[in-house]
Structure 1
Amino acid sequence: MQPRDLSDHVAYEAGRGIEEVARELGRDPSEFIKLASNENPHGPSPAAAVAIRETASSVNSYPKAAHADLTSAVADRWDVTDEQVWLANGGDGAIDYLHRATLEPGDDVLVPAPGFAYYGMSSRFHHGDVREYSVSREEDFEQDAEMVLEAYDGERVIWITSPHNPTGSTMPLAELERLADETGDETLIAVDEAYGEFADRDSAIALIEGCDGFEARDDVAILRTFSKAYGLAGVRLGYAVVPAEWGEAYTRVNTPFAASELACRAGLAAVDDDEHVVRTVETTRESRAYMREHIDAHVWQSEGNFVLVAVGDASAVAEEMQERGVIVRDCSSFGLPGCIRITCGTEDETQRAVATLNEVLEDFDLETEPTDGVEDPDAEVADS
């Protein structure tokens, strides 16, 4: 027998790792730095690393207590009920749970283009169809309700990525509220805030809770992750925050023990490790500012832990940077063949990436967008 027809599915294309690249090129891994996958340059939360070591001897047990404890800790952090927190195996697991809770066969989801491929992948896994709205380069990738409403046709779920990957733009809460107001009663506005810690904006959880001047809503859900600011990408831990009316659905759509014992214990330690998050965010802001000031090409304003750079020929530039020991993301897979994405690294990593990119651009003599109009980097640190 054969699996069902998967011809309309696409494979997720992850950033390449140091070991993989080093083996392919026959070189020592120590020659490379990786700034391709938006990982935390400072590693995991130190408290989480201790928790993982201490938990290793008890992984023979199912994570019932740890799962409940982490749910409560996250709920306390956002001032929501435990039932509103849906723990998951990474942010992609939370995407799956939201789709399981909403989609009937043949329902549509509306996703950003460019954007995270897994929104559409997950919808198709759950027998939903996928439509796209454009986050336009001509508009400097700015996000507002109108650009989504122009494409909206009654879809069951609309995915908003804020900060947006790979551009770093955000959608203001007032625009999210307008979008929810002007779409149907049975449309869920799902806001992916995987990079939310790096943005100088309040979380859209305010729209669920009805705080900061907003009315409480039952048609907005938020996705968050421990992968970025907390540095736990390898343990796969994320969650959704849903309206109070949705709480009971989690027990019917989640997998048994939706997050592992190691992940839950790491998350419990990390959620209170404010020092690690503050340090990570400060490094990110400094790195973004440095790249915007020193890269000899157009760098878009970003509120994520990465920047998008116009380089003319992304594949050629990314390949040459890799040859020179700096792994960055060719954004051709996002539909942006003229752009690369560079993760914010440590001071040394950022400076090396900038120097390498500028050397490649000079050697290739590629046409890039002008740097005129790039804001003062000090201002970027203050308001990003």
Structure 2
Amino acid sequence: MQPRDLSTHATYEAGRGIEEVAREQGRDPDEFVTLSSNENPHGPAPAAVEAIRAAASSAHAYPKAAHADLTDRLAEEWHVDSAQIWLGNGGDGAIDYLSRAMVDPDDTVLVPEPGFAYYAMSARFHHGRVRTYELSKDDDFEQEPETILAAAEHDRLLYLTSPHNPSGSTASLETIERIARETADETLVVVDEAYGEFAETDSAVALIEGRDGFDARDDVAVIRTFSKAYGLAGVRLGYAIVPGTWADAYARVNTPFAASEPACRAGLAALDDTDHVEQAVDSARWAREYLASTVDAPAWPSDGNFVLFDVGDGTAVAAALQDRGVIVRDCTSFGLPGCIRVSCGTESETKRAADAIGDVLATRDGRPTADEEVSRS
């Protein structure tokens, strides 16, 4: 007895956590900071923590009311109908629901390279075939319509990421609208806005609803998550916003009660705590500017809560940083072996990371480290 042939399926490679690295090195976890998974360094909103505690006593019941309350609240937030909100177990859960709704066996799905590995994983889980379009380092990972349209065929799903992970580039509404307009009639353009709160670009929800001077479209969907700006990565809560013309497909593709009671209650509480989200966004914008201006390595402009650096050998630099207690993302798994991605931490974490990267690069290049410069002066 064997599972079906999974030889073409990749495994998801997550950023390394403190406990994992500390156990591996036999060190105290308190020696480390982790800036590898683009998490909110300020944690969840206090109100969300209280909501999770309160929901624990009703964990025996299915989340009927909580699920409906959250979809209604999100619909109000985005000015859409409740049926257009597809809750999922994280943003990846929402991606799976779109795959279930759209992809027949052997349909093609077009994904960015580099990009979030789960786009392709979900397509293959649902017996789709994966095709890629390249976002080039030399072009600052710019999401040019010409590049994407040249790669597009009769794909069932086409993924854009704004801000893009791992580079931080964004796609304008004009770009997204042109791609949706010029791709095949059967193509759904999925805009992943997991990091949308950190960017100053407008959400592609405007294209679904026909706002801001655009005609309403039924071939665009948007992915959002509570994992990043809201600090709820551990409860796994995300959602898709889909066109109203086919929103009722959710009832046929979702799992029973797609998000848990604690997750829904935490999401509702987090939506009310706008100060916490503003703190996370302001902190990330400061940190990415500090990193880009302080670290002596080429960096790409980012609208996410992270910065991508070209350090020549991402694996070696990430390992050396790990020895110094700073965990960052080696981007080899993204097809960028020369790069590391550094998440935006608190002020102290960000400064520690910048200093550590500077010391690692200086040691490698035979230059004085920061401490050596101080001692010489």
TM range (shorter): over 0.9
Q: C-alpha offsets along residues 342-361 of structure 1, whole Å, 9 cap, x if unaligned?
A: 00001000000000000000
- Tell me which residue corresponds to 1:226: 226
Q: Which residue of 2 aligns with 1:377?
A: none
Give the structure 2 partner of residue 104 of structure 1.
Answer: 104
Letter in 1 for 2:354: V
Alpha-carbon deviations, 1:51-90, whole Å to 9, x = none?
Answer: 0011111100000000000000000000000000000000
* Matched residue, 2:13: 13
- Separation in structure 2 between the aligned mates of residue 55 and residue 10 of structure 1, nearest angstrom: 36
Counterpart of 1:382? none
State the alpha-carbon separation in 2 of the partners of residues 42 and 271 from structure 1. 16
Normalising by structure 2, what TM-score?
A: 0.97
Instruction: Give the partner amino acid of 2:358.
Output: N
Amino acid at match of 2:227: S
Percent sequence identity over matched residues?
66
Q: Deviations over 1:167-202 (max 9, x none)?
A: 000011101000011011110000000000000011
| Residue in 2 that maps onto 1:370 | none
2:85 aligned residue: 85
What SS class does the counterpart of residue 271 from structure 1 fall into? helix
Secondary structure of the 1:131 match is strand
> 1:180 corresponds to which residue?
180
Provide the rounded CA distance (Å) in 2 between the counterparts of 1:366 and 1:156: 51
Where does residue 317 of structure 2 map in the other structure?
317
**What displacement does 1:366 show?**
8.5
2:31 corresponding residue in structure 1: 31
- The one-letter code of the counterpart of 2:139 is E
Matched, 1:300 2:314: no
Which residue does the alignment assign to 1:380?
none
Q: Go from structure 1 to structure 2 and tell me whether the alpha carbon gap of 1:212 and 1:366 turns closer, same or farther (over 3 Å shift).
A: farther
Tell whether the 8 Å contact from 1:311 to 1:366 is kept in structure 2 after alignment: no
What amino acid sits opposite 1:109 in the alignment? V
1:144 Cα shift?
A: 2.0
Work out whether 1:332 is the aligned partner of 2:340: no
* Cα displacement (A) at 1:145: 1.2
Aligned to 1:251: 251
Q: TM-score, normalised by structure 1?
A: 0.95
Amino acid at match of 1:206: A
CA distance in 1, matches of 2:45, 2:207: 29
- Contact 1:144–1:172 under 8 Å retained in 2: no
Q: What SS does the corresponding residue of 2:118 show, helix, strand or coil?
A: helix
State how 1:43-82 maps to structure 2 within 5 Å. Answer: 43-82=43-82
In structure 2, stretches of 5+ residues that fail to align are 368-377
Matched, 1:202 2:205: no
Deviations 1:1-36 (A, max 9, x none): 100000000110001110000000000000000000
CA deviations on 1:311-349 (whole Å, 9 max, x unpaired) are 000000000000000000000000000100000001000
**For the Cα contact (< 8 Å) 2:33–2:349, is it kept in 1?**
yes
Amino acid at match of 1:170: T
Partner of 2:122: 122
Per-residue CA distance 1:137-184 (angstroms, 9 max, x = gap): 111111121111111111110000110000000011101000011011
Do 2:153 and 2:184's aligned partners in 1 also have CA atoms closer than 8 Å?
Answer: no
What one-letter code is carried by the residue in structure 2 that aligns with 1:276? Answer: H
Deviation, structure 1 residue 46: 1.2
Partner Cα separation in structure 1 for residue 22 and residue 209 of structure 2: 48
Measure how far apart 1:290 and its partner are: 0.5
Q: Where does residue 268 of structure 1 map in the other structure?
A: 268
- Report the residue type matching 1:224 in the other structure: R
Partner SS state of residue 158, structure 1: strand
| Residue of structure 1 equivalent to 2:373 | none
2:238 paired with 1:238: yes
**Number of residues of Structure 1 aligned to a counterpart in Structure 2:** 367
For 2:144 and 2:162, locate their aligned partners in 1 and report how far apart those are by CA, in whole Å: 11
Query: What CA deviation, in whole Å up to 9, does each residue of 1:110-149 have, x standing for no partner?
Result: 0000000000000000000000000111111111211111
Please show how residues 343-362 of structure 1 align to structure 2 within 5 Å. Answer: 343-362=343-362
Gaps of 5+ in 1: 368-384
Q: 1:292 Cα deviation (Å)?
A: 1.2
The one-letter code of the counterpart of 2:165 is N
**What SS does the corresponding residue of 1:97 show, helix, strand or coil?**
helix
1:249 is paired with a residue whose SS is: helix
Letter in 2 for 1:296: D
Q: Give the match's secondary structure for 1:303.
A: coil
Task: In structure 1, give the amino acid aligned to 2:236.
Answer: R
Residue of structure 1 in register with 2:374 after alignment: none
- The CA distance in 1 between the partners of 2:185 and 2:340, in whole Å, is 39
Q: Which runs of 4+ in 1 moved over 3 A?
A: none
Deviation at 1:246, TM superposition (A): 1.5
Matched, 1:161 2:164: no
Structural RMSD (CA): 0.9
Assess if the C-alpha contact under 8 Å between 2:161 and 2:191 holds in 1.
Answer: yes
SS of residue in 2 equivalent to 1:307: strand
Residue 365 of structure 1, CA deviation? 1.2
Task: Name the SS for the 1:221 alignment partner.
Answer: strand
Residues 110 and 158, structure 2, Cα contact 8 Å, conserved in 1: yes
Q: d(CA) in 1 for partners of 2:278 and 2:134?
A: 33
Which SS does the other structure have where 2:297 is aligned?
A: coil
Amino acid aligned to 1:300? W
- Structure 2 contact 99–123 (Cα < 8 Å) conserved: yes
Give distance in 2, aligned partners of 1:239 and 1:246: 16
